[in-house]
Chain A
Amino acid sequence: MSKSGFYKMIGVLLVLAFCLAPAGAWAGKALKIAIVAPSASNDLAFTQSIVDGIKAVQKERTIELAVTDGTFIVEDAAAAIRDYAQKGFDLVIAHGSQYGGSLKEIAKDFPKTAFAWGTSADTFGLPNVSSYEAASDEGGYVMGVMAAALSKKGGVGVVGPIEVGDAKLFVDGFVAGAKAQKAGIRANVNYIGSFSDVALAAEAARAHMATGADVLTGTAQMVVGAIGAARSRRVAWFGTQANQTELAPEIVVACQVYKWEVILRKILADLDSGVLGGKKYAITLANNGLVIEFNDAYKLPAGVKQAGLDAVAAIKSGKIKPLR
């Protein structure tokens, strides 16, 4: 190919791009949204929460949804994000704090595409990236309060993955809540060092029980193992990220459920008015993005439940700020 031919082709491509891109973005009524997430979209945890969020919004307006899940390898996720941007999706959601570095580069290359990234509070100063996070410390605090109130042996245990992001917020909130409820409580935390080792999570739960914990909680997708272990000894469990009641109806007390639709609605409203990003969002108890769902089948003493509800009210009104 001659040099001038090459430039001509680039020119044609550019013209095509300018003609098609805005048409694709604004002409259709159906909004095209893509999600890229690290674990399975029905993991009863982190990834399922965002998929459920979009599905809730889908009831209100037409959305064409594409999901790439199971991309625990960041390079794979980056490729998927770039792919969706190239295909002309209106909003690409990078659902994993580990995707930040890649997203920062990709978002610069597609200034006309809106990106959302969570959980995080950083938009990289880019006008087409919104960030979202969950104030999971709030629900964690509420559950910590209830757990401490529920514990007869004076010990509660936490099974965590790696001490980062959403998991760290939740765990710290839980410990703060437990200590606030009962100053002398033993609140042991075990970060097992993996998001995926189910067997190790189960043994971590057993280790907690051996040290005298009779109420457990945990976060991330490997906790299914811990829930199983807790269930075999009939030890109470508090869940987070999604409603885990069906995994162990006899022991799940309550779950902090993420309602991402609350902030997804806001991001879509921004899009409608032509704002691609640059804003930071968070779901909280106050904006009903975080909801404590109780398992009715579990016979929770009324006093314990009340302590939890009181904590919710206190956080909503701003009287308690769990980690501040």
Chain B
Amino acid sequence: MNDFWTATILVATVASGIRLATPFLLASLGEALGQRSGVLNLGVDGVMLLGAFGAYYAVLKTNNLLLGVAVGVLLGALLGLFYAFITVNLRAQQGISGIGIYLFGLGMSDLLFQKLVGTPRPIMPFAIVRFPVLSDIPVIGEMFFDHSLIVYVAFLLVPLFTFIINRTTYGMNVRAIGENPEAADSLGVSVGRVRYSALIIGNSLAGLAGAALAIELGIFQQNLTNAMGFIAIALVYFGAWRPIGVMAGSLVFGLVASIVLQCKTLGIIPRSASDLAAMAPAVITVLALVVVANRFRQPAALTKPYIRGQ
């Protein structure tokens, strides 16, 4: 056990947890925004996969990371637009149509990968961005300021989203429509427009999450996300639909995973318990979910299509 408490290991574990948390954070921030507006999207994982492949392919062809990120975000936005059309205009049942988005993303990303790329080929990953003073602080610097740009972006989005949701008229409209769309509509707030925008922004973030994953790993392969999108949805509930809570959830999940990983590496967790331990992040998240979930109510209009006059 002593091995674990050395500074190097501790730093590496926390840094690893932050890296692991990043795609979850991006995806669940986006999902939280959509859910605040009253639309559940179970297709996050599919959006992430398409975003991941799009970013991967763009970087593979152009070596331009920024372009890769842009492609990932754009694909996410397009899927968000499509999903908004299904749920807002066609008023489809949200649970099952989200699964449809997931299956589409899963299949399409694999198909495109097989047709356009074939064998996994590495791409240039993100560079580490260090800050003049901050990154030089011992321990802290290495833990928090020794990451790629996308990690900082993801965490900076948390205060930004908190601000948007609580302090802007747009955020107020989103909250109102997720709780009582009739009331918002009766005051002339367009339920459709707000839900469209929330879904487009939210799914752009899912696309960004996929792009971040693919570029950070420098690779793509079939089902790269490994169902991360579904965990991200659970983290939205864990975080009680608040950006800060979602961040806490992502960090708990990422840190538990990295601690388990490190303990296995050091042999603190015996190899016989290895598979059991691999479940720890999911189990702890679910337990926390049970504790947290009862304290907060979900947006009252979540999953309910809005039909004027009903």
A194-B278, A203-B20 given; A224·B120 CB < 8 A? yes
Residues of A within 8 A of B12 (CB): 206-207, 209-210
Any chain A CB within 8 A of the CB of B221?
Answer: yes
A203-B20, A228-B218, A248-B122 given; A196·B271 CB < 8 A? no
**Which secondary structure characterizes the binding site on chain B?**
helix
Interface residues in B1-49 (C-beta closer than 8 Å to A): 3, 8-9, 11-13, 16, 19-20, 23
Q: Which of A191, A199, A228, A247 contacts B275 (CB 8 A)?
A: A191
Q: Which of A163, A199, A231 contacts B122 (CB 8 A)?
A: A231
Any chain B CB within 8 A of the CB of A288?
Answer: no
Q: How many chain A residues touch the partner (CB < 8 A)? A: 41
Residues of A within 8 A of B262 (CB): 207, 210-211
Interface residues in B229-278 (C-beta closer than 8 Å to A): 257-258, 261-262, 264-267, 271, 274-275, 277-278
Residues of B within 8 A of A63 (CB): none
Give the residue among A70, A157, A188, A197 with the most B Cβ atoms within 10 A. Answer: A197
Any chain A CB within 8 A of the CB of B305?
Answer: no
Residues of B within 8 A of A197 (CB): 226
Residues of A within 8 A of B19 (CB): 203
The chain A residue sitting closest to B127, CB to CB, is A232
- Map CB proximity to A onto B82-103 as digits: 1 under 8 Å, 0 otherwise: 0000000000000000000000
Any chain B CB within 8 A of the CB of A162?
Answer: yes
Q: Are A211 and B20 in contact (CB under 8 A)?
A: no
Q: Are A42 and B119 in contact (CB under 8 A)?
A: yes
- Map CB proximity to B onto A184-202 as digits: 1 under 8 Å, 0 otherwise: 0000111111101111101
The chain B residue sitting closest to A164, CB to CB, is B275
A188-B267, A199-B23, A232-B125 given; A206·B16 CB < 8 A? yes
Chain B nearest CB from A219 CB (Å) reads 15
Any chain A CB within 8 A of the CB of B118?
Answer: yes
Chain A nearest CB from B240 CB (Å) reads 25
Q: Are B221 and A198 in contact (CB under 8 A)?
A: yes
Any chain B CB within 8 A of the CB of A208?
Answer: yes
Q: Are A204 and B261 in contact (CB under 8 A)?
A: yes
Q: What are 12 A-B contacts defined by CB distance under 8 Å? A: A43-B222, A162-B275, A198-B219, A199-B228, A203-B20, A204-B265, A210-B11, A210-B16, A211-B265, A224-B217, A227-B122, A247-B219
B interface residues with partner A (beta carbon < 8 Å):
3, 8-9, 11-13, 16, 19-20, 23, 110, 114, 118-122, 125, 213, 216-219, 221-224, 226, 228, 257-258, 261-262, 264-267, 271, 274-275, 277-279
A interface residues with partner B (beta carbon < 8 Å):
39-40, 42-44, 48, 70, 157, 162-163, 188-194, 196-200, 202-204, 206-211, 221, 224-225, 227-228, 231-232, 246-248
